[in-house]
Amino acid sequence: MKTKKIMAFALTGAIACATLLGGCGKLNADETLITIKTGDTTDSISLGYGNFATRFTQSNYDGVYLSYYGNSYWSQEVEDGKTFEDQVKESAIDAMEQEYLLAKHAQEYGVTISGDEQKKIDEAAKAFMESNKESTLEELTASEEVVKQYLTNQYYSTKVTDAIKAQAEVNVTDEEAAQRKITYAYISTVVKTDENGTQTPYEKDELEQLKPNAEKVAASSDFENEAKALGFKVTEKTYGADETELNEAVVKAADALTKEGEISSVVEVENDGYYIVRLDSDYDKEASDAKKTELEEKARTDYFNKILDGWKGEITWTVNDKVWSKVKFDSLFKTEDK
C-alpha cells in the first residue's frame, strides 16, 4: 500500500474546514457513478466527484487513525462481514444522496450562494489545485470544477439543514427534560475486581459478606466513605424519565427517594450486584437544561429526517456498482508538513 502526501487547505465561514490527504493512481473521472431520476428528469454524479468526496472522507480517518492502527486498518472487519472501508464507502454514498437533495431544494428555503461566498469557494478550489502535486490530484480525480462542486455541496448541506431544522415545531416541556441527581454505590456479585482491574472469582466467605456490607453502606451516615472502604464503586449520575443505562430496579429505588440526602435500602440485581442509591437533588438544573437542549435538537433532527425521507421517495437513486468498485482505499494519506 502506497502513501503520498498532500498539502492541507482550510476554508472559512459556513464552509467546513478540511484537511485533504492523498496517494497515487488513475481513474476515468468522466464515468457515470450515480444516476438520479426525478420524474422525466435525469441527473448524474461522476466517478470523479464520487471518488474525490469519498477519498476526502478517507483522508480524515487516516489523519486520526493511521498512526494508531497502522496501514491495514481499512481492511479490518467491523460487522456483518464488512470491512471498515466498506462501511465508510456506504456512508459516503448516503452523504452524496443527502447533499444532492439538499442542494436541489435549497431555493425552497431561501438558500443561495452570494457573490462573496462564491468567491471564497473559487479561491479555495484554485488554491487547492495549485498546492498539490499532479500525482496527488490524479489519485483524487481532483479538478478545479470537482473541488468547487464539493465545496458548493457542503455549503448547501449546512445551510439547508439549518433552515429545515429552524422550521420544526419543538415543544419540550420542563417536566419532560427534568433530571434528578443521585450517587450510587455498587459492588458486583459475579466477580471481584482488584485495584489493578484484575477480575477473579469470590471466595465463599467473601461472597457471603457482600450483602451485610451493602446493608452497612445503606445504614451509614458517611455514605461515600463507607462504601469505598468496603470495596464498593461510587458513581454520581443524573437521570430522567428516559433513563436506559441503570437497571429498572435501581431506577425504581431512586424514584422512591423524596428527600435530598435520603438513602435507599439495598437493591439486589440478579447476575449483577448490589446497589445503594442516595438522592442528591430532586431537580438538577444544569443537567435538566442540557437535557432539554438535547431533546429539542432530537426533535429538530427527527423533523429534518422526515423531510429528507420524503425527498428520497421522490427520486430513483441508482449506483453503478461496477464503477463504484473502482474507488478503493489502496493508498493512504498523510498531511504534508509545512
| 301-310: long-range pairs with CB below 8 Å, 24+ | 301/165, 302/168, 303/164, 303/165, 303/167, 303/168, 303/169, 304/161, 304/164, 304/165, 304/168, 307/164, 308/98, 308/101, 308/102
Whether 19 and 41 share a structural domain: yes
For residue 273, list its beta bridge partners.
Answer: 188, 269
State the CB neighbour count (10 A cutoff) for residue 99.
Answer: 23
Whether 236 and 131 share a structural domain: no
Whether 148 and 217 share a structural domain: no
What is the C-alpha R_g of the chain?
27
54 within domain boundaries: yes
Q: What is the pLDDT of residues 25-61, one digit of tens each?
A: 578 999 999 999 999 999 999 999 999 999 988 888 8
Q: What is the pLDDT of residues 250-261, one digit of tens each?
A: 999 999 999 999
Task: Count Cα neighbours of 3 within 13 Å in the Cβ-side half-sphere.
Answer: 13
**Total domain count, the chain:** 2
Q: Is the pLDDT of residue 13 over 90?
A: no
* CB proximity list for 242: less than 8 A, separation 6 or greater: none
Q: Give me the mean pLDDT over the 234-250 stretch.
A: 97
pLDDT of residue 335: 66
296 within domain boundaries: no
Rounded (5°) CA angle 71-23-73 = 20
Residues 240, 289 contacting (CB under 8 angstroms): no
Of the candidates 317, 328, 320, the residue with the CA atom closest to the CA atom of residue 33: 320
289 within domain boundaries: no
pLDDT of residue 193: 87
Distance linking the first and last C-alpha atoms of the chain: 24
Work out whether strand 77-79 and strand 82-83 pair parallel, antiparallel, or are unpaired: antiparallel
Q: What is the pLDDT of residues 61-81, one digit of tens each?
A: 887 888 888 888 999 999 889
State the pTM of this model. Answer: 0.83
**Between 134 and 16, whose confidence is greater?**
134
**Between 194 and 18, whose confidence is greater?**
194
CATH number, residue 248: 3.10.50
294 within domain boundaries: no
Distance CA 176, CA 172 (A): 7
Q: What is the pLDDT of residues 288-328, one digit of tens each?
A: 999 999 999 999 999 999 999 999 999 999 999 999 999 99
Whether 28 and 120 share a structural domain: yes
Q: Hey, what's the cell of 226?
A: 463507607
Q: Is the pLDDT of residue 173 over 80?
A: yes
Domain hosting 225: range is 180-282
277 within domain boundaries: yes
